[in-house]
Amino acid sequence: MRFFLDTMLGHLVTWLRLLGYDTVYNRSLRDEEAIAAAKAEGRVFVTRDRNLAQKSRKIGVQTVLLETTDTVESLRIISKTVGISLAFEEERSRCPECNSVLAKVSVNPVKWSCPYCGKSYWIGRHWRNISKTLKLLQG
């Protein structure tokens, strides 16, 4: 499943990419351009804007309308609407910055690298909060 998030939903980009979903977020596009890009690329358009959701559906774009600002609830709504898994699978995880699939470069400690932008990621203290959120998503 591939997603296009409107400019109000930057907080969800990292989560969808972490969960392995190809997710585009482009703050420089106007609303109509974003909808057109989602349609052209066959992406699910995710928005919190009712009018934008209506416009995108009108031209045949699969759309998820979020009516919450809560990250966990937003991810649950997306999952329920389009049928995606909210389980973390490290071999599918994507770079939060550029959306490329991460490559595992180390087992102990677990470490990933982005083959496109070169950023490195590892399980550090922040993983505790990520784990809590992932557990909430499963519950």
Query: Which pair of structure tokens corresponds to residue 109?
Result: 């400690």
- Quick: pLDDT tens for 50-94: 999 999 999 999 999 999 999 999 999 999 999 999 999 989 999
Asked if the model's pLDDT at residue 95 lies above 90, the reply is: yes
Closest CA to 66 of 16, 107, 103, 108: 16
Asked if the model's pLDDT at residue 5 lies above 80, the reply is: yes
- Does the domain at 2-95+127-138 match CATH 1.10.150? Answer given as no
Burial code (b: 16+ CB inside 10 Å, e: under 16) for 93-105 equals bbbbeebebbeee
Domain boundary assignment for the chain: 2-95+127-138
The answer to whether the predicted template modeling score (pTM) of the entire model surpasses 0.85 is yes
Greatest CA separation found in the chain? 50
Closest CA to 23 of 73, 58, 74, 59: 74
Asked if the model's pLDDT at residue 23 lies above 80, the reply is: yes
Per-residue confidence band for 128, with pLDDT thresholds at 50, 70 and 90 = confident
Cis peptide before 109 (omega within 30 of 0): yes
